[in-house]
Structures are given as structure tokens and as C-alpha cells.
Structure 1
Amino acid sequence: MSTELTLTNAKIVLEDEVVHGAVLIRDGLIADVSGAPTVAGEDMGGDYLLPGLVELHTDHLEAHYSPRPGVRWGKTAAIQAHDAQVVTSGITTVFDCLRMGSDEDGGFEKGEMRAMADALADAGREDRLRAEHLLHLRCEVSSDNVLEHFEEFENDPQVRLVSLMDHAPGQRQFQTMEQYTLYYKTKRGLSDEAFDAFCKRRQDQSARYARPHRDALAAHCAARGITVASHDDATLAHVEEAIGHGTKLAEFPTSFDAARASHGAGMSVLMGAPNIVRGMSHSGNIAARDLAAMGVLDVLSSDYVPLSLMHAPFILADEIEEISLPQAIAMVSATPAKTVGLDDRGRIAKGLRADLVRVCRPEGVPIVRSVWRQGRRVA
């Protein structure tokens, strides 16, 4: 039996304009978009109607699963808590980051992330999830066991994105030792001697493993058609390496030169929405607003605060003259979807999935009123 729903009296954010009208949903798809409100239908009260947000990089599930050092929460409970928070932030498609490769800063044992992926699949089959969950494998290429962890996902069709990361000191995210010292020595409470030994081990591991692991993982992704992301690129040499690996997504570049070069090479440049909201990077790197003003910011990620993915586009539209609201919303919907090959969502257009979000924004932080995924109300 065919099902229909009309959402009317809404400010509909389309690709290049905002119109006051109505959207007709039929059998989970957008059947029509009208530039005028209809008499019948669910009244949106003049609120915004946005495409469902597409989140490519969030560590939020990990925070629910391991909320304190040494604590492991029940996987299903962690997944449901994570899912509820992302959906009520307007996110209808989420790429859950699973960490591949352990190091001295923590990490997970072999099998833990595989078990989490299996629990996600079970939750989907049991209709526990309101957002659609796909997998993003965060591969620490300087770890000696990253390939061993990755093997458990070699044939998993839910893996759609793989990022190649190296958090060794003195490069990429931590270009200066001052940043690294604050992040690791202070956080871990290490003595000078212990910290020096820690840094040397990490640098030695990076020198030994990073390049061969990058090459092996990129080759595997190319063979399977998985999108590859670079991470924390700082130099033009890093960008050239990413180009050689067929990278489509440049996550969190740490210099203006790397961001410009990545964007110029056709990669989607991703920065954190919390960076936009706070006006700065939490690790002291470049401000995402500056990249937006330069025209080289393509995608936003909530990273560690789900609601920031809804908040940040409105800030960009308010504060940067060159960025309209439709352009800002595209950074959290159409562009991330296109980057990873999800061409059936991310825009309010006839024939696409009816992933929609009703948002009220009198001022300040936007309020998510309702969320539909494939025409079904999920929040």
C-alpha cells in the first residue's frame, strides 16, 4: 500500500535557495517540492525543513562504549544511546568511527571493534536504530597491529570510508612538541624521562610502519571501491601522497597550504563543526572559519559533539558573507553524501530519499523539532 505525507508551511532549504512551501513524501521518497504552502498536510509552522545531515567522522560511539578509562559499557546500550543523540541532532546517516590499531594512548584489543560492528548490524536488524549507520575505519598507520585489526573488516560491505592517520609527535596534528606535550604528557601525567621515551617509541613506530601500512590500506580500498580519507595533512608532500592514494576526503588539514592544495586537487576538505562553534581548534591548529572564508571548506563533521553539526552551518551563514544558508547546509548534507558515493540523499529534490529535519532557529542554537528517515518519523 502506498503511503503519503505532506509537510507544509516550511522554509525549505534547497541546493541554491530557500523557498516557503511544501514537500510531498511518497513511499519513503520525495515525490514533489512545491514553492507554495499547501492547504492540507502537517504544518511546519514556518520552521526550516532541511535535508537529513550526513556525518562522516564521529568518535561519539566510542565515547559511549568506553565512557571512562578501563570501562566498557554494554555494546547495544552504547549504540542506542549514540543513535538517539545523533538522530535528535538531525543526523540521519552516520559513519561510525571504529579504531584500527592500538597504541600506548589506549585503543582496543583485536576483536573488540569487530564485535561492535556485529552489534551495530544486529541492532539494525532488530529495528533498534533510527539513523542509518555505516562504518568508517580510523586506521592508525604507525601502529604495528593496524593491518591485523583491519583484516577483520576486509569483506564487510558496511565499510564505506577508511582514514589513514598517524598521530606520532612532531608532524601532522602535532607539528610542534608544545602541542603534543600538552595533549599527552599533561593528560597522562608522565615524567620528563617517561615522556621522552614515549615520544621516541611513537616516532620510531611511525618511521617503520607508516608508509607501508598506508600503501597497503590504500591499495585494498582501491580494489574494493572504498573511499579513502587523509588525516591531519600539514605539508604539500602530505597532499601529494594523498593524491597518489586516490584520496577523496581530506580530514582536518592542519595548515592553510595543505587545505588549499587538497581542495584544488578535487578532494573534499573536512573540518570539525566544534571548531566552527568554538572559533578555534581544540589542538591549536587552524580555524575552520578561516578556511570557509577562503572558499576551501567543503564538509563539516561533528567529531565529538553531535549537535555541533546542526549548529555550525547556521553560524557560517550568519557570519561569513560569502556563504549562504544553502551553501552551509550542503557542507553537512549534499557534499559529504556525494564524497562517499551516496547519491540518493543529502538534498531535498524529487526522487531522493525523504531524509528530512524540521528545525526552529529563533536565534543562537537551532532546535531540532522533528526528523524523518526515508519518510518515517524517527524523532
Structure 2
Amino acid sequence: MQAEQILTNARIVTSEWEFVGTLVLRDGLITQVQEGISSLPQAHNLGGDYLLPGLVELHTDNLEKYMSPRPGVDWPPISAVLTHDAQIASAGITTVFDALAIGDVNPRGKRMQQLPAMLEAIAEATAAGHLRADHRLHLRCELCHPDTLAVFRDLVDHPQVALVSVMDHSPGQRQFAKEDKYREYYIGKYHLSEAEMDTFVREQQANSIEFSDRYRRAIVEDCHARGLSVASHDDATLAHVQESAGFGMAIAEFPTTLEAAKASHELGLMVLMGAPNIVRGGSHSGNIAAAELARHGVLDILSSDYYPASLLQAALLLAGQDNGYDLPRAIASVSRVPAKAAGLDDRGEIRVGLRADLVQAQVHAGQAVIQQVWRQAKRVF
């Protein structure tokens, strides 16, 4: 049993409005939400700071940078997980879906070799109670890799797996419909020669033809049989979206065109875009800007992707643009809506009966400065 906590003089943001008020927390839950400031001596005065629901992150590969902090350097997995977790919590993220890649599109990459170690380290740290955030697993399935289906089936029944996405990063389609952008990205990121790049392109295209459609169908069927949410990835055309909707997918990750985003929204898929896209003002791949989707009212979820601190920052920027997203709606895109899309009904907003996952933040010149973070009423930052 946790002692009752009272947080007062906070600018509370619920799913519908914002007001100066007070929260009462007990046994890890929100038990009262009140307007006005409490005069009780045991109340913690938050000085007028924002009090937000804990952020819910559905797609981040942030752990990978701590597993391999430099080329040729392999970091101890438990240490990498704890460092990643500390950064996640400090960004206000209280529920995180660690995106573990099955199938590596980097010809020199270590994702497949690191996968078992990352999985084991997350599970071990979770079981030991060492993690600040609630960690779930998101299996990112690269369909044009020959081993993807077999590895997916080895991992899908892990108890922390809660989300699966299917993707095809072969050149000439989806994220890389423009092959020049594909070449620019991979040559720059992986330091390939032109000859190596030519070979890589041919191999990826051949693998896509051989495996992609068959693996997509098999993986989606396995997920539905287990009640797992499934996300599409980089849909670019109406045909892509219709296929995703036909497979019963819940989330459309990073649609690359306005046409695909609008169609996804209309067919009931939650549209997820990168928070860095909002912060930077556009896509690094030359695709549709997330802010443009917001102006059309078809942006549902933001994900920090590769930069955890971008999540709250992007929500604040979104609320300040001319797009119909007020602060409650913008904050919902990083809390309530992703929680709902992942099937988590016990968190994601400030409401009586839900988990007391909370973030206290100040805003200076548009920049979020996080002061405290609570997970189930326990302070974790």
C-alpha cells in the first residue's frame, strides 16, 4: 500500500482541457482530479508547472545506440538497457515499446547478432525491477530478409511482446520510392562504395520479390491469432493502405504521402509519424512532413523514433501551429492515442481510476524542461 500523495497548483492537461488543479494519488492510481489549489499541508505544490500524463512511446530504436556506441564497440547489454531506460524516463516516457529489428538492412550491421542479447537484457532488468519505465517489446519485421519469418516465430510468444510491425525497406518503394534518396541514405550511413551499393540494391530487390508478400501474410496471421496489435510501415499508395486495412492492422507507421495518410485515417488505422519530423520541420527521407498531415487533421500519434527527447517537444510544437491541435489533443498524440492503439486501457491520460503515470514539466521559450516523472505514483525521475 502506497501512502496517499497530493499534487497541487499544477497546470493539469486532461484529454479534453487544461486547468490549474490538484491530483490525489493512491496505490499507484489517480483517485481524484480537482480544479483549484489544495491548502492541505501535505500537498506538494508544483508551482504552476504543467502536469501531463506519462508519455507512451510505440516505436524507438534508441537502445541500439547504447549497444553499439561506436563502430566496433559492443557494450554490455544490461548496462546499455539501464542507460537507455534512464534516458527514456528523463524524456517523460513512462511506457516504451522497444523496437527490436528482425532482419537487418545494413550489410555491415549487427542487429541480428545483438537481438538475443537485447531481448534477454530487457527481460532480466524488468524481472529485477531495475527499470524506471514500463518496457514492452515491438518486433520490427523486415520482410525482405530471408530469416525474418523464422526468427519472428521464435520470439513472438515472449511475454513482453506487445506490438509487431511489418516493413520492406528495399529500394524503389515506400520510404525509399526515390532510389537516389535510398542510395544517399545508405552510402552515407554505412559508408558503402558505389559497387557495394549496386550489389546491395540488387540483393534487396530480389529478396523483396521472393519473401515480402509471403512473410507479411504469415506474420499478420500469427499476430491476430495471439491478439497482438500490428502496424504497417511506410505505406505510400492507396493500394498499400487498402492492403494494410485488409490485414486488419491497427497502426499506420510513417506513411510517406498525404494520400496514404488520409486513406489510413479513413480506413481506421491510427496514423503514426516521427516526432523528429515535427521538430526538424520535415522528413529526412524527403517524404511528407508530419506537420502537413496535422494541417489535414490526419495525424494521430507521434513517436520519438531515434530521439526520445523529441516526443514532448514535438507535441508542444504541434499545439503551437495553425492546425486544429490544441494542447490536450497534441498531448493525447503522445499518451492516450498510442496507449489505445496498443490496447492499453489503463493509462495514457489524467483520469480517475487510471495509472498515476505523470510528468511535471516547465516550458521555456517553447522548450520542455522536465522536472519530475512518476510511474504508478512512484517517482522515477
Give the TM-score band, short-chain normalised.
Answer: over 0.9
Q: Secondary structure, in 3 states, of the residue corresponding to 1:270?
A: strand
> Separation in 2 of the partners of 1:321 and 1:203?
39
Unaligned 5+ runs, structure 1: none
What corresponds to 2:151 in structure 1?
Answer: 149
Contact persistence 1:114–1:153 (CA under 8 A): no
In the TM superposition, residue 319 of structure 1 has moved relative to its aligned partner by 1.6
Contact persistence 1:60–1:303 (CA under 8 A): yes
Closer, same or farther in 2 for the Cα pair 1:187/1:88, shift >3 Å?
A: closer
Closer, same or farther in 2 for the Cα pair 1:109/1:130, shift >3 Å?
A: closer
**Does structure 1 residue 224 correspond to structure 2 residue 226?**
yes
Contact persistence 1:102–1:145 (CA under 8 A): no
Q: Which moved more, 1:201-210 or 1:315-324?
A: 315-324
Unaligned 5+ runs, structure 2: none
In the TM superposition, residue 109 of structure 1 has moved relative to its aligned partner by 6.5
> Separation in 2 of the partners of 1:371 and 1:345?
14
What corresponds to 1:15 in structure 2?
Answer: 15
What corresponds to 1:132 in structure 2?
Answer: 134
Per the normalisation by structure 1, the TM-score is 0.97
Q: Secondary structure, in 3 states, of the residue corresponding to 1:276?
A: helix
> Separation in 2 of the partners of 1:109 and 1:201?
18
Q: Secondary structure, in 3 states, of the residue corresponding to 2:235?
A: coil
> Separation in 2 of the partners of 1:365 and 1:248?
32
Closer, same or farther in 2 for the Cα pair 1:189/1:2, shift >3 Å?
A: closer
Contact persistence 2:106–2:190 (CA under 8 A): no
> Separation in 1 of the partners of 2:194 and 2:128?
51
What corresponds to 1:356 in structure 2?
Answer: 358
In the TM superposition, residue 26 of structure 1 has moved relative to its aligned partner by 0.6
In the TM superposition, residue 228 of structure 1 has moved relative to its aligned partner by 0.4
In the TM superposition, residue 63 of structure 1 has moved relative to its aligned partner by 1.3
For residues 50-65 of structure 1, the aligned pairs below 5 Å read 50-65=52-67
In the TM superposition, residue 110 of structure 1 has moved relative to its aligned partner by 5.3
Contact persistence 1:101–1:107 (CA under 8 A): no
For residues 101-180 of structure 1, the aligned pairs below 5 Å read 101-108=103-110, 112-180=114-182
Number of aligned residues:
379
CA distances 1:356-375 after superposition (whole Å, capped 9, x unpaired):
00010132211000000000
Contact persistence 1:99–1:107 (CA under 8 A): no
Q: Secondary structure, in 3 states, of the residue corresponding to 1:10?
A: strand
CA distances 1:111-165 after superposition (whole Å, capped 9, x unpaired):
6323322211111122210000000001000100001221221321211110101
Contact persistence 1:114–1:152 (CA under 8 A): no
What corresponds to 2:204 in structure 1?
Answer: 202
Contact persistence 1:273–1:301 (CA under 8 A): yes
Aligned residues with identical type, % of pairs? 51
Contact persistence 1:60–1:304 (CA under 8 A): yes
What corresponds to 2:242 in structure 1?
Answer: 240
> Separation in 2 of the partners of 1:365 and 1:290?
22
For residues 1-379 of structure 1, the aligned pairs below 5 Å read 1-40=1-40, 41-108=43-110, 112-379=114-381
Contact persistence 2:22–2:34 (CA under 8 A): yes
Which amino acid letter does the alignment assign opposite residue 368 of structure 1? I
Closer, same or farther in 2 for the Cα pair 1:347/1:170, shift >3 Å?
A: same
> Separation in 1 of the partners of 2:247 and 2:109?
25
> Separation in 2 of the partners of 1:347 and 1:357?
11
Q: Secondary structure, in 3 states, of the residue corresponding to 1:354?
A: coil
CA distances 1:296-323 after superposition (whole Å, capped 9, x unpaired):
0000000111010010111011122511
Q: CA RMSD in A?
A: 1.3
In the TM superposition, residue 192 of structure 1 has moved relative to its aligned partner by 3.4
> Separation in 2 of the partners of 1:207 and 1:345?
41
> Separation in 1 of the partners of 2:196 and 2:14?
55
Q: Which moved more, 1:146-155 or 1:337-346?
A: 146-155
Q: Secondary structure, in 3 states, of the residue corresponding to 2:94?
A: strand
Closer, same or farther in 2 for the Cα pair 1:256/1:186, shift >3 Å?
A: same
Q: Secondary structure, in 3 states, of the residue corresponding to 1:282?
A: coil
In the TM superposition, residue 104 of structure 1 has moved relative to its aligned partner by 4.3
Contact persistence 1:50–1:348 (CA under 8 A): yes
Q: Secondary structure, in 3 states, of the residue corresponding to 1:359?
A: strand
> Separation in 1 of the partners of 2:112 and 2:197?
26
Per the normalisation by structure 2, the TM-score is 0.97
